């Protein structure tokens, strides 16, 4: 159902070709918003440019701007010239291993990119009605008390986690000091159709099983995580933005999760069961600089936003597996 409040609203989405960015972009196009999508790299296999029926109409509905978050002047120009009202800041370097190998590029994208965008929003404050900054459950770092709630301190330790802790705190600075209309989201591990990062456990496992190969687990298999379906994620961002504009819920952080925590080994075995194959995972036990146990409470989002996920883990995995079966045939 289309929310008329979005019709012709100027919306800027960073990270639009990513997993969550693609689904959120589609959702905003469906709501008849004027979507301006930031595109740093050409990613022809991104679901955003897909020829599938679900996304084939998207490319003709978008204004695409080419640039990077590290370029402040570019961001200020886009916000001003396109008279942006709502910003969804999803653009980031999201892979833990990449951050461990080269932390500088991750810090530049995730930290500098965030304060550049927020400063550009501050300079165009009279236009801006809502800014949602994507943080991560990784921003909480290692904690003895689980699940994380929004009062848990931000204590990232390793490069990716620290980049998210910093970006998260910077977002709150812009609300507390300048009253920029900002909220922060912290999601579990997003998965779903369109994820092209095959070093992640879900797409990597599905790809291996479709090729008849034993899936690889880098850790010892006991790491506990949230897994959050991307379609639920996109809808959560939309709902939060609406509440920010309608009810003036500003300066808050929200965890989004289906609140089901599962070990990596249990997850891989679940995927094997759904796909009905007879292959056992290979456990390497070589993961380093990763948080061992992390999962979220989404009680605040449930109570303040009246939000709840629409998909169970099994339902999300089944849709995801079906998508990869078609995608990997190409």
Please state, rounded to an integer, the average pLDDT across all residues of the chain.
94
* Edge-to-edge strand ranges of the sheet holding 86-89: 63-66, 34-39, 10-14, 86-89, 130-134, 182-187, 253-256
Whether residue 316 is contained in a domain is answered as yes
For 137-195, the pLDDT digits (tens) are: 999 999 989 999 999 999 999 999 999 999 999 999 999 999 999 999 999 999 999 99
Q: What is the pLDDT of residue 3?
A: 54
Whether residue 47 is contained in a domain is answered as yes
β 224-229/261-263 pair status: antiparallel
- Could you tell me the CATH number of the domain that includes residue 257? 3.40.50.720
What is the rounded CA–CA span in Å between residue 188 and residue 219?
18
Whether residue 3 is contained in a domain is answered as no
Whether residue 1 is contained in a domain is answered as no
Range of the domain at 75: 8-327
- 330: pLDDT confidence band, cut at 50, 70 and 90? low
The total number of residues shown for the chain amounts to 330
Contact 61, 29 (CB under 8 A): yes
Catalytic-residue membership of 160: yes
Mention every residue, 6+ apart, whose C-beta is less than 8 A from residue 300: 149, 150, 252, 254, 255
For 122-143, the pLDDT digits (tens) are: 999 999 999 999 999 999 999 9
Contact 189, 225 (CB under 8 A): yes
Mean pLDDT of 309-328: 96
Mean pLDDT of 28-57: 88
Q: What is the pLDDT of residue 32?
A: 95
Contact 180, 9 (CB under 8 A): no
Whether residue 40 is contained in a domain is answered as yes
Q: What is the pLDDT of residue 226?
A: 92
Whether residue 182 is contained in a domain is answered as yes
Q: What is the pLDDT of residue 51?
A: 65
pLDDT exceeds 80 at position 289: no
Q: What is the pLDDT of residue 52?
A: 72
Indicate the angle between helix axes 201-210 and 264-275, nearest 10 degrees: 40
Whether residue 102 is contained in a domain is answered as yes
What predicted TM-score, i.e. pTM, was given to this entire model?
0.94
**Catalytic one among 140, 148, 160, 191?**
160
Range among 41-50, 64-73, 284-293 with highest mean pLDDT value: 64-73
Q: What is the pLDDT of residue 182?
A: 98
Whether residue 192 is contained in a domain is answered as yes
pLDDT exceeds 90 at position 20: yes
Task: Please count the structural domains in the chain.
Answer: 1
């Amino acid at each position: 159902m289309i929310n008329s409040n979005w019709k012709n609203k100027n919306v800027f989405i960073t990270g639009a070709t990513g997993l969550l960015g693609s689904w959120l972009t589609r959702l905003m196009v469906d709501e008849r918003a004027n979507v301006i999508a930031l595109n740093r790299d050409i990613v022809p296999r991104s679901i955003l440019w897909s020829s599938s029926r679900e996304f084939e109409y998207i490319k003709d509905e978008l204004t695409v701007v080419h640039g990077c978050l590290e370029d402040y002047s570019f961001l200020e120009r886009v916000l001003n010239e396109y008279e942006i009202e709502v910003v969804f800041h999803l653009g980031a370097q999201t892979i833990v291993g990449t951050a461990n190998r080269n932390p500088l590029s991750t810090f530049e994208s995730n930290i500098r990119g965030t304060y550049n965008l927020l400063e550009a929003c501050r300079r165009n404050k009279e236009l801006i009605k809502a800014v949602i900054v994507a943080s991560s459950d990784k921003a909480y770092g290692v904690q003895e008390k689980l699940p994380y709630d929004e009062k848990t301190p931000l204590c990232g330790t390793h490069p990716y986690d620290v980049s998210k802790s910093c970006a998260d705190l910077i977002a709150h600075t812009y609300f507390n000091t300048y009253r920029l209309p900002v909220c922060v989201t912290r999601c579990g591990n997003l998965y779903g159709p369109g994820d092209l990062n095959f070093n992640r456990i879900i797409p990597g496992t599905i790809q291996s099983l479709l090729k008849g190969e034993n899936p690889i687990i880098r850790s010892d298999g006991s790491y506990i995580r949230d897994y959050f379906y991307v379609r639920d994620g996109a809808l959560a961002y939309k709902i939060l933005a609406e509440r920010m504009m309608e009810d003036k819920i500003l300066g808050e952080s929200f965890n989004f999760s289906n609140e089901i925590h599962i070990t990596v080994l249990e997850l891989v075995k679940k995927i094997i069961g759904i796909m009905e194959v007879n292959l056992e995972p290979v456990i390497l036990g070589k993961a380093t600089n990763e948080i061992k146990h992390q999962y979220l409470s989404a009680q605040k989002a449930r109570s303040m936003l009246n939000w709840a996920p629409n998909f169970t883990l099994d339902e999300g995995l089944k849709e995801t597996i079906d998508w990869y079966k078609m995608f990997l045939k190409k």
